[in-house]
Structure 1
Amino acid sequence: MHSSRYLAASALLAALAGCGLLATRPEGPAPVEQRRPDLKLSTEPVPLPPGGLARPRAHWIPAAWGELPGWGVDRLSEWLPALRAGCAVPVDPWVALCSQLAALKAPDDAALRRFLEDRLVVYRVESPDANPEGLLTGYFEPLVAASRKPTATRRVPLYTVPADLAQRKPWYTRQQIETPGAAAVALKGREIAYVDDPLDALVLQIQGSGRLRLTEPDGSEKLVRVAFAGHNDQPYRSVGRWLLDQGELKPGEASWPGIKDWARRNPRRVQELLWQNPRYVFFREEPLPDPSLGPKGAQGVPLTPGRSIAVDPQSIPYGTPVWIDSTEPLSTRPLQRLVMAQDTGSAIVGAVRADFFWGWGDEPEAQAGRTKQALRVWALWPRP
């Protein structure tokens, strides 16, 4: 996205209204979570007994293939790359299925459907109190224009981790980092790049990663990724929540467009707004040789647009194929497809709870901001 564009509602309103899981299709901006690409692989998956499985935050109920709405019409060939990505780091009990998958040569949708039905069983995922309904939100990877050196307009730095981050916990707050003092001295020389607007930097920090369209000192441009490398161990607080508490926005205005509009009308208070969130994220720069690959999720594999989701790993282990039944944002058109559980986030908690990865660019940003849908899910698992 161009630097004049900002994060969709899904990426900034993490704790905006303290939303819980909704059983009906809600309206308004999607709640937001801080991405956690530093989380480790789940080590819990085990074969499930025929009677179901009680996980810490979910109950898996045996179901049938015919229970999956739209199962017969999904383009499973579009899901296959996400599965292959997960098979790059297979965890038990998926090793055998990944080996069998490697023997398939360019399978079509029908062949993939038979392959899965022969080897997997279906479990309906419910909450511990037997509620099969939950919430689908969306997220995306920001794309921000940046320069290697500061310019007249690009003066907001993105930093790599300070040398004493591990020794000083918590590290300095956002306000301390952005004012002259010890924190600024510790970060001198650790600038990765500079962006136009502090809200662009906040986008990247909340999402935990992003793409930079980077201008080098010689005028050349390249596309790179900045990935999560650490944070200052300060608490995360929503700037949107602060605007509501201050009476600066009404509940119906608590969307990202409303926050952008407030910032335009109150340019001298933007810094005050940002300092309400003491959490500060540091990055590492990564090459982006293949722009078609998404950022790595908590499973440690690249996310696939439209086919990767973030889940609560205490409900669904990473690497699990998941059937979702929902609707498209602002529409009654069904969103029914096979996806892979490959990521998580601090607001993704509960049995029937998923964050849908839309990809990168303007349309995924818009879709992520609009996604707040009723959801049902089924987990697919190797036959006992």
Structure 2
Amino acid sequence: MKAARLAALLAALTLPGAGMASDLTYKIFGFEDLEGWEEDDHQAALDTFLNTCRDLKAPDWEAICAVAAQQTNARTFFELFFTPVMIENGEPALFTGYFEPELSGSLTPTDRFRYPLYRLPPEARNGRFVSRRDIETTGILNGRGLEIAWVDDPVELFFLQIQGSGRIRLQDGRVMRVGYGGKNGHDYRSIGQELVRRGVYNKHQVSAQVIKNWVRRNPIDGAELLRHNPSFVFFRIVNTLSAEEGPAGAMNRSITAGRSIAVDPKFTPLGAPVWIEKGGNGPINRLMIAQDTGSAIKGPQRADIFFGSGDQAGREAGRLRDPGRLVVLLPIQRAYAMLPEDNL
């Protein structure tokens, strides 16, 4: 029994969140405790799981992945090889949404297309670079051949930087996909919070679309508002994925609309299935896969749901800010190893 407890403790020390916050709690559920579990499309979740499963290198995950590709009953697979675990730290659950923007652009600057996407300059690779304001007002990057493309909307470009990846639809119909290539080392500041601080809006009124509309109605003050955020993101061309596939997530694999989520990997292992129960308008009870991360996604009960590409996906993602609960599906032995020793 002591040996079993020691093995469990050693396993727990390798888990996300283990040995970190003292107020973490772990609760084991049965699948019958997951609201709507029986009605979900488990095969869709399994297909998404298989997209990144091969990249999981821990022995217990590798064994499960070897079996996963041979399954004919997806629900039975998840119920046989996983245990639902809810990890909490006292903070309420929060679900938000994200998407892959699509901007109109050109490979050469024109009167219409005059706002550049830049590659990471060499001097920004190992430390702090100048702020957004300096980049935009001093011309420090001009004439250096760092431009990837030019777009026609500085507001959409700003939000492309927040998303970190997107698509540029060129004038000949081709689509260029760009991904995160680095940043200038400055911390992100929320311009939505700044509008609230100024008394322009109340907190519950702020959304991406509201911010965009305000900046466009107030072009001079709007440009200054965007510069309130000193963080500046550089891009790279992504040519490993087709235009029909979703963008690459943190696991460097294509993510799937409605089935992929961004999580905090300190608590939720990347690649793990996660049961989502989102409340609010348009409740969602669905098995999704943790395949991405985000700078604003912090804590064990925090997730960002990927809605897809383009304007409609952006509108749906922008409206989402709801409570609920998040339950991680972990390999059975790993799940029980997370419990305090007194519960073993």
TM-score greater than 0.5 by the shorter chain: yes
- 2:291 alignment partner in structure 1: 342
AA partner of residue 166 (structure 1): R
- 2:26 alignment partner in structure 1: 60
Identify if the C-alpha distance between structure 1 residues 380 and 180 changes in structure 2 by more than 3 Å, giving closer, same or farther.
closer
- Judge conservation of contact 1:226–1:283 (CA < 8 Å) in 2: yes
Distance 2:220 2:320 in 1: 32
Q: Which runs of 5+ in 1 are unaligned?
A: 1-45
TM-score by length of 2: 0.85
- Judge conservation of contact 2:177–2:243 (CA < 8 Å) in 1: no
- 1:374 alignment partner in structure 2: 323
Distance 1:195 1:320 in 2: 37
- Residue of structure 2 aligned with 1:115, choices 72, 77, 87: 77
Deviations 1:130-185 (A, max 9, x none): x7x51111111111111111111111000011122235x3111111111235x234
Distance 1:82 1:56 in 2: 30
- 1:226 alignment partner in structure 2: 178
Distance 2:32 2:144 in 1: 60
Matched, 1:102 2:32: no
Q: Which runs of 5+ in 2 are unaligned?
A: 1-9, 334-344
- Judge conservation of contact 1:47–1:382 (CA < 8 Å) in 2: no
- Judge conservation of contact 1:225–1:288 (CA < 8 Å) in 2: no
- Residue of structure 2 aligned with 1:179, choices 137, 140, 156: 137
Partner-residue secondary structure (3-state), 1:144: strand
More helix by share: 2
Deviations 1:3-24 (A, max 9, x none): xxxxxxxxxxxxxxxxxxxxxx
- Judge conservation of contact 2:207–2:319 (CA < 8 Å) in 1: no
Partner-residue secondary structure (3-state), 1:325: strand
Distance 1:231 1:63 in 2: 41
Partner-residue secondary structure (3-state), 2:122: coil
Deviations 1:67-120 (A, max 9, x none): 11111110112112211111131231210111112223xx3xxx1111222222
- 2:41 alignment partner in structure 1: 75
Partner-residue secondary structure (3-state), 1:189: coil
Matched, 1:208 2:164: yes
Distance 1:205 1:137 in 2: 18
- Judge conservation of contact 1:56–1:315 (CA < 8 Å) in 2: no
Matched, 1:144 2:95: no
Distance 1:238 1:155 in 2: 25
AA partner of residue 120 (structure 2): V
AA partner of residue 303 (structure 2): A
Distance 2:331 2:203 in 1: 45
- 1:352 alignment partner in structure 2: 301
- Residue of structure 1 aligned with 2:148, choices 163, 169, 192: 192
Instruction: After TM superposition, give the deviation of residue 126 of structure 1 in Å.
Output: 3.4
Distance 1:271 1:127 in 2: 40
- Judge conservation of contact 1:353–1:375 (CA < 8 Å) in 2: no
- Residue of structure 2 aligned with 1:86, choices 52, 75, 82: 52
AA partner of residue 162 (structure 1): P
AA partner of residue 30 (structure 2): A
- Judge conservation of contact 1:223–1:288 (CA < 8 Å) in 2: no
Count, aligned residues: 318
Partner-residue secondary structure (3-state), 1:380: strand
Instruction: After TM superposition, give the deviation of residue 288 of structure 1 in Å.
Output: 6.2
Instruction: After TM superposition, give the deviation of residue 55 of structure 1 in Å.
Output: 6.0
Distance 1:120 1:180 in 2: 55
Distance 1:115 1:253 in 2: 43
Distance 1:190 1:81 in 2: 38
- 1:262 alignment partner in structure 2: 214
- Judge conservation of contact 2:89–2:299 (CA < 8 Å) in 1: no
Partner-residue secondary structure (3-state), 1:339: strand
Identify if the C-alpha distance between structure 1 residues 235 and 377 changes in structure 2 by more than 3 Å, giving closer, same or farther.
closer
